[in-house]
Amino acid sequence: MSKQASSKVITGTVQNSKNGNVYEHAMMITDAMMETIIQVQNINDDSNAPMQLLIECLALDGVGEVFKLDMHFPFLDIEDHRQMLENFTHGSLWKMKGMFAIGHADEQTTITLVSPDYHSLATEDIPNVKAAFKINGKFHKYRA
């Protein structure tokens, strides 16, 4: 038996911080999820927004292809923020699962996991995951 998907629509306007243009936008929250393995590339710990983190990653799709992925963790308390800075070090590998958003700005497409659940990889999986990033990352310019 399949479960009926739920969704909520929020409408409003969004202002582009670079050019000031205002756009009408309808945000629809759905049950759409993404599960992947990531390798941390950069952590943006913005002192102007201390209770959130934006983490730039490389990720593996379902067949091991490498692509760029951002993770956004809004609304962190102080202890979660500190723990994430300790966990998400450059090059670290994690299993991630969460709601995803695809954005389009400046002719670039971005994929972002929003507040995903994360877990460490099994020790025996790490060599294969590192090999997939190394081998497949050489030949692709991180699609997205």
pLDDT tens digits, 60-97: 999 999 999 999 988 778 888 888 889 999 999 999 99
Question: Quick one: pLDDT band at residue 102, thresholds 50, 70, 90?
Answer: confident
User: Average pLDDT in the 122-128 region?
Assistant: 96
18 pLDDT above the threshold of 80: no
Residue of 49, 66, 45 whose CA lies nearest to 129: 66
Superfamily of domain 31-139, CATH level 4: Nucleic acid-binding proteins (2.40.50.140)
Note the pLDDT of residue 60.
94
Is the pLDDT confidence value at 144 over 50? no
CA dihedral 136, 137, 139, 140 (to 10 degrees): 110
Provide the pLDDT confidence category of residue 10 given band limits of 50, 70 and 90. Answer: confident
Residue bearing the bigger pLDDT, 49 or 80: 80
pLDDT per position as a tens digit, 30-41:
888 999 999 999
Give the contacts of 103 (CB within 8 A, at least 6 positions apart): 109, 110, 112
Contact predicate 33/97, CB 8 Å: yes
CA distance 125 to 80: 26
Instruction: Return the beta strands (E) in 4-77 as ranges.
Output: 8-15, 22-29, 33-44, 53-60, 66-73
Domain chopping of the chain, boundaries: 31-139
Residue 28 or 5, more confident = 28
